Amino acid sequence: MSIRFPRPQPGREFVLTLSCPDSAGLVHAVSGYLVRNSGNILESQQFDDRLQGRFFMRVHFDVSDPNVDLDGLRYRFGPVAQAYGISWSLSDASTPTRTLIMVSKFGHCLNDLLFRRRAGALNIEIPAIVSNHREFEKLAESYNIPFHHVPVTRDTKPEAEARLLELVRELDIDLVVLARYMQILSDDLCKELDGRAINIHHSFLPSFKGARPYDQAYDRGVKLVGATAHYVTPDLDEGQIIEQDVVRVDHSLDPGQLVTVGRDVEAQVLAHAVKWHSESRVMVAGNRTVVFR
């Protein structure tokens, strides 16, 4: 039996996300805007950050008037945004997020994302896979996705990153996913991809850095194996956290078994982060994120 994932109606369903200083009347203002534009709320979530005095909201709605389109909705929300000092984004809910996936020699996260995309569980489009190795070229071909081998050495790193940015611009990429891409991005590249690049790593960091972290974890007798998905920033592995998860383990697991458990968690956590980002459920708030699951 196949699982069917409902798709938003193109040109009829939209997602509005916003953040602004908290004040009275915000929800009323947004609701009034929707009513004036034949909008019907399908899902609405909000968060009032009292410590920071800031308000966050995500609204998924449809419109009944066939003459209402995305450009018109954006134009008519302008005065509302100006009145309340709102930072906002409004998009067609059906439009897939154009996603470039980067990978090195570990393919579990790549495999998982490709399968979820084919099954319809992720509303993303994958115009390219980029790797500094050729291990997954055949896998990319099996999904009819162009594969770009961009080798990286200390001497060729600037050229490799320039090629990546070239692909991002040529393919009109919305999101770059580091699916166990084992290269550190330069500060300049991180800034260029600010807010649109997601990385995954095991949650042993910063306790177990360097090579063979699961062997280090075994030697220390860890009781939890986990993973963290976060936005990429110039501060290595310190970007805003989107999702984390852990699995309890015990003394009976050897290093190889810990790796297996860890990879399962990494794949699931990364998939959640990609899904939520592609559905405009993640809002960056300084060093933190607000995630409307």
Decide: 116 and 122 in contact? Cβ < 8 Å: yes
Query: What's the CA gap between 56 and 191, in Å, rounded?
Result: 24
Catalytic residues: 237
Query: What's the CA gap between 26 and 99, in Å, rounded?
Result: 33
Decide: 92 and 72 in contact? Cβ < 8 Å: no
SS3 164: helix
C-alpha separations of 270 from 65, 108, 110, 235 in Å:
38, 11, 10, 19
Q: How many residues does the chain have?
A: 293
